[in-house]
Chains A and B, each alone.
Chain A
Amino acid sequence: MRGNGSRLRLKAIQIALLAGAFLAWHVLTSPTLLPPIYFGDADKAAFFFGEPLKVFSRLLDWFVSGEIYRHLWVTLIETLLAFAIGTLGGVGFGLWLARAPLAAAVLDPYIKAANAMPRVILAPIFMVWFGLGMASKVALGVTLVFFIVFFNVFQGVREVSPVILANARMLGASPRALLRHVFLPSAMSWVFASLHNSIGLAFVGAVVGEYLGSAEGVGYLIHQAEGVFDINTVFAGILLLTAFALVLDWAVTILEVRFMLWQPRAGETEKL
């Protein structure tokens, strides 16, 4: 990662790798290009693994007809809601519990149990409770995000340097001021460290929820396509979700840079 030259080269190699993968996919699945080696039937490879050209044309179709926007929008809203509610809840609960040692000691085993439980399994229950609409997907995402954020906040409050704490108290900080000026900022640095994880999990909650039962969203599209063995549409959906996740991740990075100005980053000198 020295000069511009080596960075360009890195990008070139990465793109070549991607192109190579798609080419291999195309060559291996196209019914007439290769003699059938593994599958007895020439069309079988395409049936199981799809064909990249058809996958792309399906993606193009979605965007040209505009059909996809509604589904993307639903998935996005579910993800963002789950992320926001889970994060707020985790921060609030974490701050409170870290300052209430008795409650923390009492709740400790239950929190551990709730965290250890594979919470995706709650999805059907949420559907019974909240119906097939957005609410049940948001609820699933919240249970996934909440614990990550909660544990990080809890840790962040515990790890505040005792000297900084003593100093703030000597400067006259009330318990409320301590919360706002010391514990919260310290916890936020931990929360931001976990943000990439938690936005990813909010997304998982939304998609899995849609997949298991809904009438809208990208997960629903994939589920539908699977129902009729339309493997190309399934792959198109997977590619779309991946791109979507990358965009979310990138947005989080922007947030992080914006809010975590105070954190030292490696090698901050300017190039002359």
Chain B
Amino acid sequence: MKAVLERGGAAALALEGITCSFAGAAGEPGYTAVREATLVVEDGEFVSIVGPTGCGKSTLLNVAAGLLAPSAGSVHVFGQPLAGLNRHAGYLFQADALMPWKCALENVVAGLVFRGAAREQALETGRAWLRRVGLEGFGDRFGHQLSGGMRKRVALAQTLALDPAILLMDEPFSALDVQTRVLMENELLDLWSADRKSVVFVTHDLEEAISLSDRVVVLSAGPETHPIGEYAIDLPRPRDVSEIRLLPRFIELHGRIWRAMKSEVLKGYARQRQ
């Protein structure tokens, strides 16, 4: 509540009427990935976005990060119109984004170094973050010496080490095995409840979305994607993601959202097969 007052009560992130059209190759029509999408994330809110593959989830996150200017629509961050990169946001990319020429520790502290932190201090913070994501002792490994899941965790530490007010996460845990995944999800919830960042969490996994979030947004199949449903998740916190899946309320919500998604998933699949 305090944070909301300090920031004037404005939403952490407000995407309004966003349309993204990608220019086609010469002579071909362009492709409208997202049309008239509106997504508002309140300060301190944990929002998940689910939708069929290729519908435009990463595109929306790129818009929120300021990496992609939308063809139409407006983006506001804490009430201010966004110009250029979103300085309040940390972005965990879907693709591998670590610098292969830096070891794990150097990657984790990169953001701190870029922002002018003292080196010793930064390394200290970096080591603490590596410990937190379960990679203590792997600090001097290069990317090619780490597994895919380890690289994802290094990237997570890299993003979180900067302590961003808004966290954009694009399928961060899809490369992890089920057990590590549950650990990391709980760790994320712990972190989040400590200082209530605003989180936009993209995932394919509806169960993951429900167990983590305050709200789940379902996107339609592309092209011209837009949100087709929003579901408030009124499960009690603090949560343990491995236990919460057994609650009757969880199962009920899952059923409801899944029914809404199913037709979109099938539609999207059929369209991509054409």
| A interface residue numbers (CB < 8 A to B) | 161, 163-164, 166-174, 177, 181-182, 185-186, 188-189, 261-264
For the complex, is B67 an interface residue (Cβ under 8 Å from A)?
yes
A-binding segment of B24-32, B97-105, B177-185: B97-105
In the bound complex, CA of A171 to CA of B87 (Å): 9
A181-B110, A264-B144 given; A170·B90 CB < 8 A: yes
Contact of B114 among A163, A172, A261 (CB under 8 A): A172
For the complex, is B173 an interface residue (Cβ under 8 Å from A)?
no
Could you say which residues of chain B place their CB within 8 Å of the CB of A261?
142
The smallest beta-carbon distance between B166 and chain A, in angstroms, is: 11
In the bound complex, CA of A243 to CA of B98 (Å): 42
For the complex, is B130 an interface residue (Cβ under 8 Å from A)?
no
Query: Which residues of B from 96 to 120 have beta carbons under 8 Å from A?
Result: 96-103, 110-111, 113-115
Q: List 18 other contacts, CB 8 Å, given A168-B99, A263-B100.
A: A163-B97, A164-B97, A166-B67, A166-B91, A166-B97, A167-B98, A168-B114, A170-B90, A171-B110, A171-B158, A171-B162, A172-B115, A172-B162, A186-B101, A189-B101, A262-B101, A262-B143, A263-B144
Contact of A170 among B65, B98, B142, B144 (CB under 8 A): B65
A167-B93, A168-B114, A262-B143 given; A185·B101 CB < 8 A: yes
Could you say which residues of chain A place their CB within 8 Å of the CB of B97?
161, 163-164, 166-167
Q: Are A262 and B162 in contact (CB under 8 A)?
A: no
Q: Are A166 and B93 in contact (CB under 8 A)?
A: yes
In the bound complex, CA of A263 to CA of B144 (Å): 8
**For the complex of A and B, 8 pairs with smallest distance between CB atoms:** A171-B111, A167-B97, A264-B144, A185-B101, A172-B114, A262-B142, A173-B114, A170-B91
Q: Are B99 and A182 in contact (CB under 8 A)?
A: yes
For the complex, is B89 an interface residue (Cβ under 8 Å from A)?
yes
Q: Are A163 and B95 in contact (CB under 8 A)?
A: yes
Could you say which residues of chain B place their CB within 8 Å of the CB of A164?
97-100
Could you say which residues of chain A place their CB within 8 Å of the CB of B114?
168, 171-174, 177, 181
The smallest beta-carbon distance between B156 and chain A, in angstroms, is: 12
* Residue from A167, A186, A188 with most neighbouring chain B CB atoms (10 Å): A167
A177-B114, A262-B144 given; A170·B89 CB < 8 A: yes
**Chain A binding site: helix, strand, loop or mixed by DSSP?**
helix
For the complex, is B85 an interface residue (Cβ under 8 Å from A)?
yes
Q: List 28 A-B contacts (CB under 8 A).
A: A161-B97, A163-B95, A163-B97, A164-B99, A164-B100, A167-B93, A168-B99, A168-B114, A169-B85, A170-B85, A170-B89, A170-B90, A171-B114, A171-B158, A171-B162, A172-B162, A173-B110, A173-B114, A174-B114, A181-B110, A185-B99, A186-B101, A189-B101, A262-B100, A262-B101, A262-B144, A263-B144, A264-B144
Could you say which residues of chain B place their CB within 8 Å of the CB of A185?
99, 101-102
The smallest beta-carbon distance between A215 and chain B, in angstroms, is: 45
Q: Are B96 and A163 in contact (CB under 8 A)?
A: yes
The smallest beta-carbon distance between A260 and chain B, in angstroms, is: 9
In the bound complex, CA of A161 to CA of B102 (Å): 15
Could you say which residues of chain A place their CB within 8 Å of the CB of B89?
170
Could you say which residues of chain A place their CB within 8 Å of the CB of B102?
181, 185, 262
The chain A residue with its CB closest to the CB of B87 is A172
The chain A residue with its CB closest to the CB of B140 is A261
The smallest beta-carbon distance between A141 and chain B, in angstroms, is: 29
In the bound complex, CA of A163 to CA of B65 (Å): 13
In the bound complex, CA of A185 to CA of B95 (Å): 20
The chain B residue with its CB closest to the CB of A167 is B97
